[in-house]
Every structure is written in C-alpha cells, then in structure tokens.
Amino acid sequence: MSDLSGKTAVVTGSTSGIGKAIALCLASSGCRIFLHGIDAPEIAERAGEEMHAAGAAAVAVGDGDLLEPDAANDLVAMAHEHLGPVDILVNNAGIQHVAPIENFPDDEWNRVIELNLSVPFRLIKHVLPTMRENGWGRVVNIASVHGLVASAQKSAYVAAKHGLVGLTKTVALETGGDQITCNAVCPGYVRTPLIETQLEARAKDEGITVEEMVRPFLEEKQPSGTFVPPADIGAVVFFLCSDAGAQITGSTFTIDGGWTAQ
C-alpha cells in the first residue's frame, strides 16, 4: 500500500460529511492534513483530533467562506504557511439548490456555480505552479453522478458538476508529463446534510416520515438501494493519490450503486 507521508493534502469542506471521510483516509496514510469548512469551531476541532488519531503527520484547520473574493488564494497560502507546499488538492466543498428553472433564484444559481465550479478552478490555478516545481501533484474533484447525467430541478448543480468534469479533463491535458494527475469522482446518493435536506423536503411533500422516504428516494435512482458510505469515496481518492494512480488522469470514477448504468 502506498505511503503518502511527507505529502500535504488540502481537502475543502472537510470538517464534516464526505470531505471529512476523505481527509481521514488520507490522514491514515500519514499525510499532513489541512482541514477546511464553515462548521462551528468545536466541530472543526473534533475533526482535527480525529485526523491526529487516524495517523496524520500534522493537522491545521482553515475556516474561510470560499464564496468570499480571494478566499481560494488565502486558503492555499494558509495551508502552505502551516503545512508546506500543497501536494494533494481535493475540491470537495459543494452546495445544492433544488427548484424548477422558472423559479430558480438567480442568486442561488450564482452561488452553486461559484462554489461547485469557479472555486475549484481558482484553487487548481493557485496550487499548480508549486506542484509543477515539485514534480508531483494530485488534484481530485468531487463531482457527482450529476456531472454525467441530469435530474430535474437541479439545473445549477448539474451544470456546475458537468463543468467540473470538463475542467478535470482540461487540467489533465495541461499537466500531462508533469507527474500531476487530475481526476473527478462521481458519487451517487451519500447520506450527508446535503441529502438530508432533500429527503426532508420530499417527505414533507409526500406526508410521510424521513425514514419512510429513504426507500422510494433511493429506488428512484440508485439500484443498490443503499446510500454510498463516505469512507468508500475516501478509499477511491486515496487510490488516485497513490502510486497506482500515477497514470490515471482526466478520468471520472463513478461510485453510484449503479445509478449511471441505467
């Protein structure tokens, strides 16, 4: 198994949810971990302790709202200052908004495109020069099945995630030959706050409990009938960062319980 000790990994949105599971997986291979999120300080602190317990060589935490101008630049500078040059960037922070196009608020469209697509673009732009200098780098973009197929009422998210898959391919072409890879991971439904909000809204519409909503919600899209465990996404990200991933670039990895096989 590859050892990532000596590497510094930045995972956006990693104080909770999928990002935290990814950071834990990288921590257990000995990486220095730069955690980031906008959760309450005690949540970030607890996540930091979990990273140390998992085996992280060092841990630092940043809390910038990535929708603020200059936040991407500041985040990379902060990680560099605390843990050294960024070797691994995982673009994970993301948001969703669900509404039919005619009622889709312009400001929600802008926020979803900004955080899910433009922020990864800026972070990649800021980390690539150092990765090139060091002759090694891994960029993993957490896209979604919605980077490959659409669902109704998710126009901004689907557009942003399709864009992120396109960005992934372009970065791969521009970094080929520099020992830098860039790939996208495309999960199906994972039970995190992002999905909990949708489950609650659908349960309310149908007049049933959230737990009663789980089965029809999954049956509609995800043939496995089970949520994807966040740790499975961490394992794929680790694989892409390992030596075995050196020749994998510009690819999309679905972890979707069969969603996109239909």
d(CA 256, CA 222): 7
Q: Does 234 interact with ligand NAD (rule: CB under 6 A)?
A: no
Strands (DSSP E) found in the chain: 8-11, 32-36, 58-62, 88-91, 137-142, 180-187, 252-255
Which residue, chain included where needed, has tokens 């630049």?
73
Strands (DSSP E) found in 74-118: 88-91
Asked if 107 and 125 count as a contact pair (C-beta separation under 8 A), the reply is no
- Sign of the C-alpha dihedral, residues 142, 148, 149, 153? positive
Pairing relation of β-strands 58-62 and 180-187? unpaired
- The single residue among 150, 195, 235, 248 that binds ligand NAD, judged by CB under 6 A, is 195
- The single residue among 112, 115, 124, 167 that binds ligand NAD, judged by CB under 6 A, is 115
157 is catalytic: yes
Q: Does 89 interact with ligand NAD (rule: CB under 6 A)?
A: no
Phi, psi of 36 (to 5 degrees): -150, 140
- The single residue among 18, 90, 123, 241 that binds ligand NAD, judged by CB under 6 A, is 18
Site for ligand NAD in 53-82 (CB under 6 A): 65-67
Give DSSP secondary structure letters for 174-215.
HHTTTTEEEEEEEE----SHHHHHHHHHHHHHHTS-HHHHHH
Tell me the closest approach of the beta carbon of residue 12 to ligand NAD, in angstroms. Answer: 6
* Catalytic hit among 34, 109, 157, 217: 157
From 31-39, 51-59, 78-86, 125-133, span contacting ligand NAD (CB under 6 A): 31-39
Q: Does 13 interact with ligand NAD (rule: CB under 6 A)?
A: yes
Site for ligand NAD in 93-112 (CB under 6 A): 93-95
Which residue, chain included where needed, has tokens 């302790």?
49
Q: Does 246 interact with ligand NAD (rule: CB under 6 A)?
A: no
From 88-96, 127-135, 173-181, 206-214, span contacting ligand NAD (CB under 6 A): 88-96
- Sign of the C-alpha dihedral, residues 182, 180, 73, 91? positive
Q: Does 17 interact with ligand NAD (rule: CB under 6 A)?
A: yes
- The single residue among 48, 120, 163, 187 that binds ligand NAD, judged by CB under 6 A, is 187
How many residues in the shown chain lie near ligand NAD by CB under 6 A? 26
Residues that bind ligand NAD (CB under 6 A): 13, 15-19, 37-39, 65-67, 92-95, 115, 142, 144, 187, 189-190, 192-195
Active site residues: 157
